[in-house]
Structure 1
Amino acid sequence: MRKKRGRKIWWWVIGIVVVLAAAFGLGVASNGGPLGNKEITIGTIGPDVQVWQHIAKSKEAKQAGLKIRVKDFTDPVALNKATANGQIDVNAFQSWSYLQAYNKENKNGQLAALGTTYLEPMGIYSDRYKKISQVPDGATVAIANNPANTARGLLLLQSAGLIKLKKSFNATSGTNEIAANPKHLKFKEIDDTTGPRVLKSTDLVLIGNTIALTGHLNVLKDSIYHEKVDQSTKNNINVLATAKKNRNNARYKKLVTLYHNQKIQQWINKKYQGTKVNVQKPLSYLEK
Structure 2
Amino acid sequence: MRNKKHTSWWIIGIVVVILLGVGLSVGANGGFARKDEVTVGTIGPDVQIWQHIADSEQAKKAGLKIKVKSFTDPVALNRATASGEIDVNAFQSWSYLQAYNKENKKAQLAALGTTYLEPMGLYSDRYHSIKEIPDGATVAIANNPANTARGLLLLQSAGLIKLKSNFGATSGTNDIASNPKNLQFKEIDDTTGPRVLKSTDLVLIGNTIALTGHLNVLKDSIYHEKVDQSTKDNINVLATAKKNRHNKEYKKLVTLYHNKQIQQWISKKYQGTKVNVKKPLSYLK
TM-score w.r.t. the length of structure 1 is 0.89
Gaps of 5+ in 1: 29-34
Aligned to 2:43: 45
Aligned to 2:27: none
Aligned to 1:31: none
Determine whether 1:72 maps to 2:60: no
Matched letter for residue 51 of structure 1:
I
The counterpart of 2:97, out of the listed 96, 99, 103, is: 99
Deviation at 1:151, TM superposition (A): 0.1
Structure showing greater Rg: 1
Determine whether 1:176 maps to 2:182: no
Residue 88 of structure 1: SS of its match in structure 2? Answer: coil
Deviation at 1:36, TM superposition (A): 8.6
Residue 68 of structure 2: SS of its match in structure 1? Answer: strand
Q: Please give the alpha-carbon distance, in whole angstroms, between the structure 2 residues aligned to 1:85 and 1:93.
A: 17
Aligned to 2:236: 238
Residue 51 of structure 1: SS of its match in structure 2? Answer: helix
Deviation at 1:38, TM superposition (A): 1.8
Q: Residues 114 and 256 of structure 1 are in contact (CA less than 8 Å); yes or no, is this contact kept in structure 2?
A: yes
The counterpart of 1:195, out of the listed 193, 206, 213, is: 193
Tell me the alpha carbon deviations over residues 42-68 of structure 1, each in whole angstroms, 9 at most, x when there is no partner. 000000000000000000000000000
Aligned to 2:54: 56
Q: Please give the alpha-carbon distance, in whole angstroms, between the structure 1 residues aligned to 2:188 and 2:8.
A: 66
Residue 210 of structure 1: SS of its match in structure 2? Answer: helix
CA-atom RMSD in angstroms: 2.3
Q: Please give the alpha-carbon distance, in whole angstroms, between the structure 2 residues aligned to 1:16 and 1:207.
A: 60
Tell me the alpha carbon deviations over residues 88-136 of structure 1, each in whole angstroms, 9 at most, x when there is no partner. 0000000000000000000010000000000000000001111001110
Residue 183 of structure 1: SS of its match in structure 2? Answer: coil
Matched letter for residue 207 of structure 2:
N
Deviation at 1:10, TM superposition (A): 6.4
Q: Please give the alpha-carbon distance, in whole angstroms, between the structure 2 residues aligned to 1:11 and 1:37.
A: 30
Aligned to 1:123: 121
Aligned to 1:262: 260
Q: Please give the alpha-carbon distance, in whole angstroms, between the structure 2 residues aligned to 1:275 and 1:12.
A: 63
Q: Residues 37 and 66 of structure 1 are in contact (CA less than 8 Å); yes or no, is this contact kept in structure 2?
A: no
Residue 251 of structure 2: SS of its match in structure 1? Answer: helix
Q: Please give the alpha-carbon distance, in whole angstroms, between the structure 2 residues aligned to 1:222 and 1:198.
A: 15
Gaps of 5+ in 2: 24-32
Q: Residues 269 and 275 of structure 1 are in contact (CA less than 8 Å); yes or no, is this contact kept in structure 2?
A: yes
Deviation at 1:9, TM superposition (A): 7.2
Q: Residues 138 and 183 of structure 1 are in contact (CA less than 8 Å); yes or no, is this contact kept in structure 2?
A: yes
- The runs of 4+ residues in structure 1 deviating greater than 3 Å are 8-18
Deviation at 1:13, TM superposition (A): 7.2
Aligned to 2:284: 286
Tell me the alpha carbon deviations over residues 247-285 of structure 1, each in whole angstroms, 9 at most, x when there is no partner. 000000000000000000000000000000000000000
The counterpart of 1:217, out of the listed 196, 206, 215, is: 215
Pick which of 104-113 and 8-17 moved more.
8-17
Q: Residues 37 and 67 of structure 1 are in contact (CA less than 8 Å); yes or no, is this contact kept in structure 2?
A: no
Matched letter for residue 100 of structure 1:
Q
Residue 257 of structure 1: SS of its match in structure 2? Answer: helix
Q: Residues 143 and 188 of structure 1 are in contact (CA less than 8 Å); yes or no, is this contact kept in structure 2?
A: yes
Residue 78 of structure 1: SS of its match in structure 2? Answer: helix
Matched letter for residue 57 of structure 1:
D
Deviation at 1:17, TM superposition (A): 8.2
Aligned to 1:32: none
Q: 1:11 to 1:167 in 2, by over 3 A?
A: same
Deviation at 1:72, TM superposition (A): 0.4
Q: Please give the alpha-carbon distance, in whole angstroms, between the structure 1 residues aligned to 2:9 and 2:50.
A: 47
Determine whether 1:249 maps to 2:247: yes
Determine whether 1:276 maps to 2:251: no
Identity %: 79
Q: Please give the alpha-carbon distance, in whole angstroms, between the structure 1 residues aligned to 2:200 and 2:7.
A: 78
